Structure formats: C-alpha cells, structure tokens
Amino acid sequence: MDIATSEITELAIEARGLVKRFDETLAVDGVDISVPKGSIYGILGPNGAGKTTTLRMLLGIIDPDSGTRRVLGHDKPQDIARLIGYLPEERGLYPAMKAYEAIAFMGALRGLPLPQGRERGRQLMEGHGLGHAVDKQIRKLSKGMAQIVQLLGTLVHEPQLVVLDEPFSGLDAINQGKLEVLIRSLADKGTTVIFSTHVISHAERLCENIAIIAGGKVPFAGGVDVARDRIPAQVRLETSASEGPWRHALPEGTRRMGQFWHFPLPESGIEPLLRALIDGNAGILSLSIERAGLHDAFVAIAGEAAAADLEKNTPSEEEA
C-alpha cells in the first residue's frame, strides 16, 4: 500500500482548501482539516468564525466554492449519509412525537427500519437514564432532555462518523458531563467524533486533535499538546531570600508577584537554574512548572480579538 492510500485509509475526514462565499461575505477561506479515524476532533472558535459552514461543507449539505473533501473515503459525503450521524446547531423535534418514536424517526431518515429504530430508541433512553421518559411526548420534556433525545436520534443507526455542531449549548452542567462521557464511549468503540464548540474547556478535556478557526481561516490544526507547546511552560518559584547573587540566574523577563517569581522555563531546562539557586542560598520554598493551557494557546494562535469573541459566548464555570 503506498503512502497516499494509507493516509486516506487512516483519515475519516480530509479537507483541503475549502472556500465558501455567501454573496459578498467570505465565510470560509482555505480551510484544511484532517480527522483521524476513531478520534475525537474539536473545531474551536468563536460564534461566526465559520465552524458551522465548514461542517456543512464536510457533510455535503452545501458545496464549497473551491477545495476538496473526502469523508470516510468518499468524495460525495451525501452518498454515505447512512454512515454519518449529524446533530445540527439548530435543534428541532416534532413536539407531538413520543421520545422513542422521535429517535426511531431520525434513524429512519438514515435508512434504519422503524421497528428496529423503536427498539433501539427505548434501549438508548433506558441506557442513558431516560427510561422514565420513553413514552413522553417531546413537548413534555425539559429542554435538556429533548436535546439528549435528539442526540440519541443522531446515534441510533450506529454511524461510523458522528458530527456535532455546538452539542453542549443549552445543556446544564450535569447533562454536559453525561455528553462528555457519551462522546468518549463512542471513540472507545472506534467511532469518529468531530464537534464544534466555542467553549475551550470541552475541547481541552475531550480532544487529542483540534482545528482553531477564526475569521474563516484555520491558523492551527493538530494536536492539543502541540498547540499548548506553542507557549513555553511557566515556572513559579518561591524563595526565603529576596536578594543575593542567585538573582542573576533568573532569566530575563522574570516577574515578581507577591512571594513568587514567575518566568518561562529556560531552554536549558530547570537543572542549571536549581544549581545556581542552591549555590546562591536562595532558600527554595517551592518550585512548580506549569504547562500552558489551551486558552493561552488559543490567544497566542488566534489573537486577542478572537479570544475576546470566544469569551463573549462562553458560559461561566458554574454553568459549564
């Protein structure tokens, strides 16, 4: 097998140079994305950045003006819709339908026979703690429960690829946690999951790989660890002495905040600095090396303006 064939086999989604305009607005400008099979992949960016347009092009709901895409090895994603589960950002279920019937109906749209869909619908609801609501009409469910029902309808036909557009929006903290567990369980079974979000914490907890999208462009696509490594790890040092020859060993840019010294981890590592601190009788009380978080990486990659837009729509810690 040659390298090109191997790469196609190992990728659930591969997109190159996707461009989409709506009238005079350039919504997506040259997006490249590669999603490994069986992975959890996040598309991270503020609202209006082009996330939904990108997902819709990948799924074949809309066609790009230019660029190429391959989904599960196919150039025409709409031809393999039965292999894909899609939860759009705009939720919608028939309010008069019973919950398990709504799940079966969504499966039928992907080719799953209704009787099988009804059986799986009941099983899915019972397995996710909603057995008491199986026969309830959608209109009688809470917003969060209805959203979980729609998510289960996205999964009922057992797709190979699951695409979720802002799946955490509107869910309380408990249901967000349940959704994270469900997403991990899908990946454990070999299902590829790609989701868009403007909440960094979800991407940081769930994803090994992400694409950061801002202004219709992707300034970064790759591993979360690679993104975080764009910023040097930070050292926090506490000493009993405030002055001494050891001060010359602290790197340029060191900041004093209260009792602590803060500075980037030196390229030479921490050992030479430790020797200088000990030899200079600095009196080390504590020392920690803190790796940059994904939020700091996002700011460094996408810029302060994109980060500010992201935070406008990000719920507080209490809500998330």
- The structural domains of the chain, with segments of one domain joined by +, span 3-228, 234-290
- With beta carbons less than 8 A apart as the criterion, state whether 109 and 102 touch: no
- Give the SS3 label for residue 14: strand
- With beta carbons less than 8 A apart as the criterion, state whether 187 and 39 touch: yes
In 3D space, the residue among 56, 9, 52, 53 whose CA is nearest the CA of residue 34 turns out to be: 9
* C-alpha pair distances (Å), 70 with each of 39, 49, 174: 16, 22, 36
Q: Hunting for tokens 């809500």 — which residue is that?
A: 319
pTM comes to 0.82
Q: What is the mean pLDDT of residues 134-143?
A: 92
Q: Hunting for tokens 């993104």 — which residue is that?
A: 227
One DSSP character per residue, 22-77 reads ETTEEEEEEEEEEEETT-EEEEE--TTSSHHHHHHHHHTSS--SEEEEEETTBS-G
In 3D space, the residue among 201, 193, 195 whose CA is nearest the CA of residue 314 turns out to be: 201
Structure tokens at 314: 């990000």
**DSSP state, residue 85:** E
- With beta carbons less than 8 A apart as the criterion, state whether 284 and 277 touch: yes
pLDDT of residue 266: 87
Find all residues with CB under 8 Å of 33, minimum gap 6, and list them: 13, 14, 15, 18, 43, 54, 58, 211, 218, 221
pLDDT of residue 313: 65
Which own/partner pairs from 273-282 qualify as long-range (CB within 8 Å, at least 24 positions apart)? 273/249, 276/246, 276/248, 276/249, 277/237, 277/239, 277/246, 277/249, 279/246, 280/244, 280/245, 280/246, 280/247, 280/249, 281/241, 281/244, 281/246, 282/239, 282/240, 282/241, 282/244, 282/246
Q: What is the mean pLDDT of residues 232-249?
A: 91
Confidence label for 260 from pLDDT (cuts 50, 70 and 90): very high
Q: In sequence order, what E strands does the chain have? A: 11-22, 25-36, 40-44, 66-71, 84-87, 161-165, 192-197, 209-214, 217-223, 234-239, 255-257, 260-264, 284-290
pLDDT digits (tens, 9 = 90+) for 293-319: 898 889 889 888 887 887 776 654 444
Q: What is the mean pLDDT of residues 169-187?
A: 90
pLDDT of residue 6: 42
pLDDT of residue 291: 85
In 3D space, the residue among 242, 243, 231 whose CA is nearest the CA of residue 299 turns out to be: 231
Determine how many CB atoms are found less than 10 A away from the CB of residue 252: 6
Confidence label for 184 from pLDDT (cuts 50, 70 and 90): very high
Find all residues with CB under 8 Å of 295, minimum gap 6, and list them: 200, 307
pLDDT of residue 175: 86
Element (H, E) at 123: helix 114-127
Q: What is the mean pLDDT of residues 180-200?
A: 94
Using the predicted structure, report yes or no on whether residue 160 has a pLDDT greater than 80. yes
Confidence label for 120 from pLDDT (cuts 50, 70 and 90): very high
Using the predicted structure, report yes or no on whether residue 95 has a pLDDT greater than 50. yes
**What percentage of the chain reaches a pLDDT higher than 70?**
95
Does the 3-228 domain belong in CATH 1.20.1250.20? no
Name the least confident of 57-61, 78-82, 117-121, 230-234: 230-234
Rounded-to-integer distance, Cα 172 and Cα 14, Å: 33
Using the predicted structure, report yes or no on whether residue 5 has a pLDDT greater than 90. no
List beta partners, residue 210: 42, 222
Best-predicted range by mean pLDDT among 22-26, 160-164, 264-268? 160-164
pLDDT of residue 315: 55
pLDDT of residue 127: 92
Average pLDDT over the chain, rounded to an integer: 90
List beta partners, residue 286: 238
Confidence label for 2 from pLDDT (cuts 50, 70 and 90): very low
pLDDT digits (tens, 9 = 90+) for 6-25: 444 589 999 999 999 999 89
pLDDT of residue 314: 61
